[in-house]
Amino acid sequence: MLKNLFDKNSNTAILLAGILAIVVGVGVARFSFTSLLPYMLEDFLTLTYAGVLASFNFVGYLSGAIFSIFIKDINTKVKYLRIGFVLSIVTTLILGVSTNETLWLLSRVVAGFGSAMILIVGAAIVMVKLDFEDKTKAMGIHFSGIGLAIALSELISQLVLENATWSDAWLVLSAFAFIISFYSLYILSFDKVLKQNAAKHTLSFSIFSPYVILLILAYFTEGVGFVVQGTFLPVIINSLEGLEGYGSVGWLVVGLAGIPSSILWMRLAHTYGSLNVIIVAMFLQVLGILIPTMSTNIYLNLLSGALYGSTFIGLVALFMNLGGQLAGKNPVVLMGAMTAAYGIGQVGAPLYSVALIEYYGNYDTTLYLTAFIVSLGIAFLVFAKKIQRA
């Protein structure tokens, strides 16, 4: 078994390497910021600047996501995966050794690009390397790494914070990422240069029917729904009366709930249809967004975290899977449009969030607006169903 784990062509090793890559690129380079935000707000960051940093991180991610769509050659993908690891680790280290605001801003943009290289390009390499006839379930296991990444980075952060500062947590996280990256870099490579000719398809915009446009608009609203809780959930829980300090528990619940989510949602989509399942998942997400505005009950607010963790990962998998089915042999234009729409939602949401939080002095208005925007996405999808039936 141990020998298999160091075999570059073993499915078990490939999946483990892919999951550990996600821990580096998503857990450490992206979501550790959410874990440590309550502590950084106490003595360094302002909430407004935290929102700006989150927004800039998604600018980097969006640029990387769109860039990755056009990397066709598998050997070039391996090169950019390696670059993603270096960027993710170095930008995490910077947050531990410096408090220069300009440097932080630059590091969050670059970290976003690195995350995209690991999550998107890394997933493409895992898909190529896996030796399964049907890779759908295996990729569900791969993306369960997002939930594990959140839970693991949260546990490491809390362990360090018991005896040290948030700066030390960044240093430990970067060291942890550095160590585990060697395994992923070794397994997610090829013994020889692969000759793989990417099929050439002419770019066609004819795919943008009213049905597809509604799907893209709905994915934009999901970008908004993803990022507000993904940036502020621990701080939101800590701000509720009687729940001070429970934000970290809520964020751990997000990660744990996220681990099985993409596998479960993809199975449901196979049985009940992607569009129906996306509508249900987005409705549950709206419910989770609204819970902190209605109750200070600890169990309900942990449920809010569970609803978020169990929907946001699954929704990305569901939307991209549906988009892939619709795109057929010409996925670049549609995938690019969907990624851009989701990314615009991600970039804009932290900015309106901090503006509303500063103005009203609480998180309720931000959560109401976010829930309304995601509800609009549900309405778009219901309308898309009617068009589909017509």
- The reply to whether 123 and 242 lie within a common domain is no
**Residue 43, in any domain of the structure:** yes
Average pLDDT over residues 45-68: 93
Q: Does residue 197 form part of some domain?
A: no
5 inside domain: yes
Residue 135 and residue 214 in one domain:
no
Token duo for residue 174: 């970067």
44 pLDDT band (50/70/90 cuts)? confident
Identify the band that residue 205 occupies on the pLDDT scale cut at 50, 70 and 90: low
- Supply the range of the domain harboring residue 88: 1-190
154 and 278 housed in the same domain = no
**Is the pLDDT score of 1 beyond 60?**
no
Number of domains into which the chain is organized? 2
The Cα–Cα gap between 84 and 348 comes to 24
Segment 166-194, tens digit of pLDDT: 999 999 999 999 999 999 999 999 877 66
Q: Among 156, 190, 224, give the residue marking a domain's end.
A: 190
CATH assignment at residue 220: 1.20.1250.20
Q: What is the spatial distance between Cα 222 and Cα 333, in angstroms, rounded to a whole number?
A: 20
Shared-domain flag, residues 88 and 185: yes
Model confidence, pTM: 0.92
Q: CA 171, CA 178: separation in Å to the nearest integer?
A: 11
Helix axes 101-116, 47-69, angle to 10 degrees: 30
- What span, in angstroms and rounded, lies between the C-alpha atoms of 30 and 57? 8
Q: What is the token pair recorded at 334?
A: 């549609």
At residue 278, what is the residue type?
I
End residue of a domain, out of 190, 218, 253: 190
Q: Are residues 233 and 379 in the same domain?
A: yes
Domain membership flag for residue 282? yes
Segment 226-267, tens digit of pLDDT = 999 999 999 999 999 999 999 999 999 999 999 999 889 988
* 165 and 266 share one domain: no
Average pLDDT score over residue span 275-291: 97
Instruction: State whether 184 and 247 are in the same domain.
Output: no
